[in-house]
Amino acid sequence: MSVRRSVGRLLPAPENFIPDAVLEEISAQGLDASRRDFLRKSFAAASATLAAGGALAASDHPAPDGDMAILQPSAHSTRLGHPVAFTPYGSPSKHEANLQRRESPGLTRKRESSISFTPLQGLFGIITPSGLHFERHHAGWHDIDPREHRLMINGLVSTAKVYTMAELMRLPSVSRMHFIECGANSAMDWGGPAVPTVQYTHGMLSCCEFTGVPLSLLLEDCGIDKQKAKWLLAEGSDGASLTRSIPIDRALDDAIVAWGMNGEMLRPENGYPLRLVVPGLQGVCWVKWLRRLEVGDAPFATREESTQYLDLMPDGLQRQYTVIQECKSVITSPSGGQRLLDKGFYNITGLAWSGRGKIARVDVSVDGGRNWKTARLESPILPKCLTRFNLDWAWDGKPYILQSRAIDEAGHVQPKIAELRAVRGKRSVYHNNAIQSWQVSAAGEVMNVQLS
Contacts to other proteins from residues 260-279, by CB under 8 A: none
By CB under 8 A, tell whether 452 contacts other proteins. Answer: yes
CA-wise closest residue to 236 among 339, 118, 149, 131:
149
Segment 61-90, which members bind other proteins (CB under 8 A)?
none
CA-wise closest residue to 380 among 131, 203, 174, 176:
176
Q: Which CB atom, from 61 or from 412, has the smaller least distance to other proteins? A: 412
Q: Which stretch binds other proteins (CB under 8 A): 13-21, 77-85, 173-181, 258-266?
A: 13-21
Query: Please, what is the minimum distance in Å from the beta carbon of residue 86 to other proteins?
Result: 24
By CB under 8 A, tell whether 436 contacts other proteins. Answer: no
Query: Which ranges in 33-96 belong to alpha helices (H)?
Result: 33-53, 68-71
Query: Please, what is the minimum distance in Å from the beta carbon of residue 414 to other proteins?
Result: 5
By CB under 8 A, tell whether 92 contacts other proteins. Answer: no
Instruction: By CB under 8 A, name the one of 31, 55, 63, 70 that touches other proteins.
Output: 31
Query: Please, what is the minimum distance in Å from the beta carbon of residue 385 to other proteins?
Result: 15
Binding mask 276-315 for other proteins (x = CB under 8 A): ----x----------xx-x-x-xxxxxx--xx--xxx-xx
Q: Which stretch binds other proteins (CB under 8 A): 66-74, 123-131, 355-363, 386-394?
A: 355-363
Instruction: By CB under 8 A, name the one of 46, 174, 319, 377 that touches other proteins.
Output: 319
Reduced to 3 states, what is the DSSP secondary structure of residue 112?
Answer: coil
By CB under 8 A, tell whether 38 contacts other proteins. Answer: no
Number of residues that bind other proteins (CB under 8 A): 140
Task: Report the relative pairing of strands 205-214 and 256-261 from DSSP bridges.
Answer: antiparallel
By CB under 8 A, tell whether 413 contacts other proteins. Answer: yes
**From CA 301, how far away is CA 321, in angstroms rounded?**
9
CA-wise closest residue to 174 among 130, 214, 215:
214
* Cβ-proximal residues to 327 (8 Å cutoff; 6+ apart), any chain: 352, 353, 354, 356, 359, 406, 407, 408, 410, 412, 413, 414, 433
Instruction: By CB under 8 A, name the one of 6, 130, 322, 390 that touches other proteins.
Output: 322
Q: Which CB atom, from 65 or from 249, has the smaller least distance to other proteins? A: 249
**From CA 47, how far away is CA 34, in angstroms rounded?**
20
Q: Which CB atom, from 129 or from 223, has the smaller least distance to other proteins? A: 223
Query: Please, what is the minimum distance in Å from the beta carbon of residue 428 to other proteins?
Result: 9
**From CA 307, how far away is CA 313, in angstroms rounded?**
14
Query: Please, what is the minimum distance in Å from the beta carbon of residue 325 to other proteins?
Result: 8
Question: Which of 365-370's residues contact partners 24+ apart within 8 Å by CB, and which partners?
Answer: 365/401, 365/402, 365/403, 365/404, 365/405, 366/393, 366/400, 366/401, 366/402, 367/400, 367/401, 368/401, 368/403, 368/437, 368/451, 369/401, 369/403, 369/405, 369/416, 369/435, 369/437, 369/451
Segment 360-379, which members bind other proteins (CB under 8 A)?
361, 363, 368-372
Q: Which stretch binds other proteins (CB under 8 A): 64-72, 255-263, 265-273, 430-438?
A: 430-438
By CB under 8 A, tell whether 397 contacts other proteins. Answer: no
Whether 247 contacts 323, CB under 8 Å = yes
Whether 356 contacts 410, CB under 8 Å = yes
Segment 202-221, which members bind other proteins (CB under 8 A)?
217, 220-221
Instruction: By CB under 8 A, name the one of 84, 316, 379, 394 that touches other proteins.
Output: 316
**From CA 69, how far away is CA 59, in angstroms rounded?**
6
Residues making up the chain, counted from first to last = 452
Q: Which CB atom, from 269 or from 408, has the smaller least distance to other proteins? A: 408
Segment 141-160, which members bind other proteins (CB under 8 A)?
152, 154, 159-160
